[in-house]
Amino acid sequence: MSLPDPNLLPYDQIRQLLLDHFQLMADNETLLLGYMRASNAMAADPEAWAVLDRHRVEMERWALKLVGFSSESQPLRLVIRAAASGMDQLSVRWLQEGRIQKIEVLIEATIELIIGGFRAATKFDPTLDVETGIRLLSERGSYSDRTKRAASPTIKRERAKSG
């Protein structure tokens, strides 16, 4: 999965990344559910675990820098990792339960996990100012209409017919 266009607003970038993530999960359900279930077994393989962990660290640093936070802040790294774990579990449960919610609902729920994590980081370090980062993730851009179109079952069927 590639990073979103850096010219987009942070609001749009994070949502594009999450849209790509959930779409990837939906398009590769069997493979990814197997991967998620096997993560405990993978933990026993230090080389495989190191690859996964490097990717996670890169994504954490990207997400923190996206909203102007230091990627060296231990409290922020801790909570962004927790939010990523929550997103993984949200993805698995969504697939296991028959995709009962639309992707845009998952995206907004994940954003709330991230925002809640930022607020929680202030419990570890009360000097952290997370409000600007929260505002950057909360500001409405032109993205919401594109998300609804991309996540629409009608659009997916039209893409499948034309592709």
CA-only gyration radius of the chain, Å = 16
Burial class (CB in 10 A: 0-12, 13-18, 19+), 118: buried
pTM: 0.76
For the chain, the structural domain boundaries read 10-153
Q: How far apart are CA 21 and CA 12, in angstroms?
A: 14
Would you call 25 helix, strand, or coil by DSSP?
A: helix
Structure tokens at 145: 């209409």
Sign (positive or negative) of CA dihedral 130, 131, 135, 138:
positive
Per-residue pLDDT of the chain (163 residues; tens, 9 = 90+): 788 899 999 999 999 999 998 998 889 888 777 766 666 566 666 776 677 778 888 989 999 999 999 999 999 999 999 999 898 889 888 998 999 899 999 999 999 999 999 999 999 999 999 999 999 999 765 444 444 444 433 334 333 444 4
Q: What is the DSSP string of 46-88?
A: HHHHHHHHHHHHHHHHHHHHHTT--TT-HHHHHHHHHHHHHHH
